[in-house]
Structure 1
Amino acid sequence: MWSKELKTKFPTFNARSETAAEKASFKASVKNRRCIIPVTGFYEWTGPKTSRTSHAIFGPDPIIPMAGLYSWWHEPDAGDDEGWHLTATILTRASSGVMEPLHDRMPVFMSDELLGDWLDPETSGDQLLMDAVSEASLPISEQLREYAVKPLRGDGPELILPA
């Protein structure tokens, strides 16, 4: 295990596709613990922290498959059958398309042609695979649609109503 505790000083919910294969926190997962994180959409925020604008982002299909990495983390003081946590991170790349004005990074979207290799644990992942998946996500990112939404409050369909 690269970390002695589940909560780390630096958040690891995103991993840069350009460097994940060399980082201690992601290297083993790049090699053989790759996953898909299916989402129907996601949010990005712009503006100063005191008055941020929320943006809803959706893909060309009802489900957007994001390239991810996972690992199992075991609490050092827990028994063999206890204290296990499944953790995951989303791969990111430089933004393009509608994401460019919103943020300098965006998720790596999984293309159909690389899905089999990505999910195959027998395929040893490396930086070449990371680069291929990242590059293949560009056509999907060019089809994203975005609109500003009302401030995010509650939990329901109102979260995607236009502002």
Structure 2
Amino acid sequence: MFDKLTLRKATQDHADRIWEILQQAILKRKEEGSTQWQEGYPNPNVINDDITKGIGYVVFHSENNSIIGYVVIMDDIEPTYNELSGGKWLTDGKYVVVHRLATAQDVKIKGLGTWVMQQVENVALSKNITSIKVDTNFDNDGMLRVFEKLNYVYCGEVFFRGGSRRAFEKLLV
């Protein structure tokens, strides 16, 4: 199944489908009892900014010619990560940041989140970056399982969008 998938840079033509996928993820988080993504973020303006900045990526499924996931991959400083509490980052050098990972709920593929994070590793290595830093809500069990499966190390907490979030890092070498 995963051989039919590719990770590509998002374009404005993808914006409507990306928003659909994010709305599905927002609803899923709400149904799970989470407050994550329940205050108007992310939204279409955020998606347009991601695409304009060249940091938005889509998961393209070639068999049914559709977009089934979205992720932001940045190789810029995440200011929120400068204030880590209750721990320490593994490295102080250049890193890739992952934000807004969402997978379609209308085309479910078991393990898709893990596959996306493995592709993020490939993107990081293609840029000669060997560290990935991420954060997620304390109650995002799906992402927490992905981080555990892929050997991310818990480094502490960051404060983002009005709440504390768990922060992780993975070294790729």
The TM-score with structure 1 as length reference comes to 0.26
The structure number with the bigger radius of gyration is 1
Higher relative contact order (CA 8 A, sep 6+): 1
Q: Higher helix proportion, which one?
A: 2
The TM-score normalised by the length of structure 2 is 0.25
